[in-house]
Structure 1
Amino acid sequence: MRREINSEELGFFYRATGEAIWQLQYVEDALCKFYIIVCIHFGCDGITRENAEMNQKQIGRKTLGQLIGLLERTERVQSSMLSDLKEFNSLRKWIVHNSMRENGQDLYTDHGRDEFAKKLLVFSEMARSIHNGISDSLMHLVTTAGHATEEQIMRMANSEIDRLKGKA
């Protein structure tokens, strides 16, 4: 059945789209840091502890696809992680660039709205899952290399959270 989207549905659509974009940015930020740390650890792309901050500013401007390409070239990232990232990037392209053109008319049907909403929710869930996977990989790399313990990392993270909340 065709009908105009109501204000509640439109509100959900905008909130879900905003959440998806926000979650994407968390993944991109984590991937940038992950790439820097992988390069420092394995000595790739000329990134060292000394020039990491300078490189992070430049690499932080890259898109998800570009970051995936950088990680792929290191040959130090599991193929399953790269596969998940590529699938995520494909869905990102649809949300950011093509959803309105390819599926905007779907918002005028109940089934179309449901499918559209599912894609947005799947994307946000993928983003959270990928972000957690990146965090786990970073924790493993840093702790097994002896750079820090999990307790030290968690203490620093909690301290930063407190600072952001105005408690420090």
Structure 2
Amino acid sequence: MRRQVTPEELQNLYTSIGRCVWHLQYVEDVLTNLISLKVEIRTPGRVGLKEAQELLAKHRRNTLGTSVKIVREKSLVRPELLDRLTRFKEERDWIIHRSQQTHGDGLYTDQGRAEMFSRLERFEEEAHSLMRAVAEELNEFMRGHGVDLAAAEMTARKNIGRMRGGADV
């Protein structure tokens, strides 16, 4: 049965897309950190803080597609993770470039709405999972170079606490 999308459903759609885009950016960020460290910096202390920040800023201009291409060309992650990143990039392309054209009409049916919301929810869940998986690749790389991850986490928590306007987190 076909019917008009309710204002609440439309708001839910916009909110879901926004969450997907927001969490996509977390994946992009952890990928740019991985690329900056594994490709540009390579070993702790090889470059100074300012140069490291510039290298990171350069890679933060990458799109997800560019970052996945670099990860593939440089073999920066396990093949299974690369496959997931590739599928995630394809799903990102659908959300950003094709979801309205391919599924807009489906929003006028119960099944179509359910499919759209389910697909968006799966994307957001995969963004969370990928962020953790890429971060673990980053942690493995740093551990392999003798970086004290506990000290790095403490510094990160202090920085987050300052950003939030408080003391340490």
**Taking structure 2 as the reference length, what is the TM-score of the superposition?**
0.90
For 1:62 and 1:88, locate their aligned partners in 2 and report how far apart those are by CA, in whole Å: 16
Task: Tell me the equivalent position of 2:42.
Answer: 41
Q: Quote how far apart the aligned CAs of 1:137 are.
A: 1.3
Question: Which amino acid is 1:158 matched to?
Answer: R
The C-alpha deviation readout for 1:124-161, integer Å capped at 9, x for no partner, is 00100000111111112112210x21211220121122
Mapped pair 1:159 → 2:158: yes
For 1:114 and 1:75, locate their aligned partners in 2 and report how far apart those are by CA, in whole Å: 37
Question: Which amino acid is 1:155 matched to?
Answer: M
Deviating more after overlay: 107-116 vs 57-66: 57-66
Question: Which amino acid is 1:132 matched to?
Answer: R
For 1:157 and 1:135, locate their aligned partners in 2 and report how far apart those are by CA, in whole Å: 14
For 2:37 and 2:56, locate their aligned partners in 1 and report how far apart those are by CA, in whole Å: 10
Q: Quote how far apart the aligned CAs of 1:29 are.
A: 1.0
Question: Which amino acid is 1:156 matched to?
Answer: T
For the aligned residue pairs, the C-alpha RMSD in angstroms reads 1.4
Deviating more after overlay: 72-81 vs 104-113: 72-81
Q: Quote how far apart the aligned CAs of 1:119 are.
A: 0.7
Question: Which amino acid is 2:164 matched to?
Answer: K
For 1:62 and 1:121, locate their aligned partners in 2 and report how far apart those are by CA, in whole Å: 25
The C-alpha deviation readout for 1:24-49, integer Å capped at 9, x for no partner, is 1111111001111111227xxxxx62
For 2:58 and 2:20, locate their aligned partners in 1 and report how far apart those are by CA, in whole Å: 24
The C-alpha deviation readout for 1:89-127, integer Å capped at 9, x for no partner, is 010000000000111101000000000001100000010
For 2:36 and 2:117, locate their aligned partners in 1 and report how far apart those are by CA, in whole Å: 34
Task: Tell me the equivalent position of 1:71.
Answer: 71
**Taking structure 1 as the reference length, what is the TM-score of the superposition?**
0.91
TM alignment of 1:82-161, pairs within 5 A = 82-146=82-146, 148-161=147-160
CA contact (8 A) 2:77 2:137 kept: no
For 2:130 and 2:71, locate their aligned partners in 1 and report how far apart those are by CA, in whole Å: 14
CA contact (8 A) 2:28 2:64 kept: yes
Consecutive unaligned residues of structure 2, counting only runs of 5 or more, are: none
The C-alpha deviation readout for 1:55-100, integer Å capped at 9, x for no partner, is 2222111110100111111123211111000000010000000000
Q: Quote how far apart the aligned CAs of 1:14 are.
A: 0.9
Q: Quote how far apart the aligned CAs of 1:2 are.
A: 0.3
Deviating more after overlay: 119-128 vs 49-58: 49-58
Task: Tell me the equivalent position of 1:45.
Answer: none
Q: Give 4+ residue runs of structure 1 displaced > 6 Å after superposition.
A: none
Give the % identical residues. 31
Count of residue pairs the alignment pairs up: 162
